[in-house]
Amino acid sequence: DAKTTQPPSMDCAEGRAANLPCNHSTISGNEYVYWYRQIHSQGPQYIIHGLKNNETNEMASLIITEDRKSSTLILPHATLRDTAVYYCIVRVQYGNKLVFGAGTILRVKS
Amino acid sequence: EPEVTQTPSHQVTQMGQEVILRCVPISNHLYFYWYRQILGQKVEFLVSFYNNEISEKSEIFDDQFSVERPDGSNFTLKIRSTKLEDSAMYFCASNRGAQETQYFGPGTRLLVL
């Protein structure tokens, strides 16, 4: 599985957009980018995933660069409840397991 | 919205005892997983299960561990003789197809004394 690199921590003001970057320079053509988050030792929560195109759902947007070597998760209006560890995971299309890194600790502050 | 559920939420046991952690995956899902997270560390894959057999397991998943789907709804993780280092959060996950999104349960916090 391709390795991902994320900043260890970020701060964001409540109500502002949170932009969480992820580098995955060794990603291959059939590997998806998945984002999960974990709030205070709860189970990882699925956020969004994508292959090539940008994706948006009710939780977030995912912007993937054209060369697919990096991506950004955008939480458009962060709230205090978005404080969590955010994991960027690259996953082969037909792979089973998820390989979690250390993630980014996002702190949303009022 | 369907959810993965896990019981118990907390389990305290003595070293050397057997524990069984239970999971009810989402009802139309076919692939099941166990992960664990030692306090302050990363979430680690343990095992995946499909069609009543293990499809992949990690180095952590040694002979002390076993998984079972005893009926149409439950998926269990058994640790035969617990060690202090088995203390961790254990997460169950499931998905409908191998390439589809995995959904996680809330976890069981296991403390081995």
**pLDDT at residue A96, rounded to an integer:** 76
| CA–CA separation, B104 and A47 (whole Å) | 12
Specify the pairing of strand A9-13 against strand A104-109: parallel
**pLDDT at residue A2, rounded to an integer:** 64
Residue B95's CB is within 10 A of a number of other CB atoms, namely 20
- Average pLDDT estimate for B27-37: 95
> Which residues in chain B (7-66) have CB-CB distances under 8 A to chain A?
31, 33, 35, 37, 42-45, 48, 55-56, 58
> pLDDT tier at A95 (50, 70, 90 boundaries)?
low
**Terminal C-alpha separation, chain A:** 37
Q: Which chain A residue shows the shortest CA-CA distance from B42?
A: A102
* Residue/partner pairs of A59-68 with CB below 8 Å, 24 or more apart: A60/A35, A62/A33, A62/A35, A64/A33, A68/A24, A68/A27, A68/A33
Q: Note whether A15 contacts B: Cβ–Cβ < 8 A.
A: no
A98–B45: do the CB atoms touch at under 8 Å? yes
Closest CA–CA distance from residue A95 to any residue of chain B (Å): 6
**pLDDT at residue A3, rounded to an integer:** 87
Write the CB contacts of A31 (distance below 8 Å, at least 6 apart in sequence): A1, A2, A24, A90, A91, A92, A93
**pLDDT at residue B72, rounded to an integer:** 79
pLDDT tens across B6-19, in order? 999 999 999 999 99
Three-state DSSP class for residue A80: helix
| CA–CA separation, A53 and A45 (whole Å) | 22
Residue B19's CB is within 10 A of a number of other CB atoms, namely 19
Q: For chain A, give the percent of residues with pLDDT over 90.
A: 84
pLDDT tens across B42-92, in order? 999 999 999 999 999 999 999 999 999 988 789 999 999 999 999 999 999
Q: Is the pLDDT of residue A64 over 90?
A: yes
A41–B37: do the CB atoms touch at under 8 Å? yes
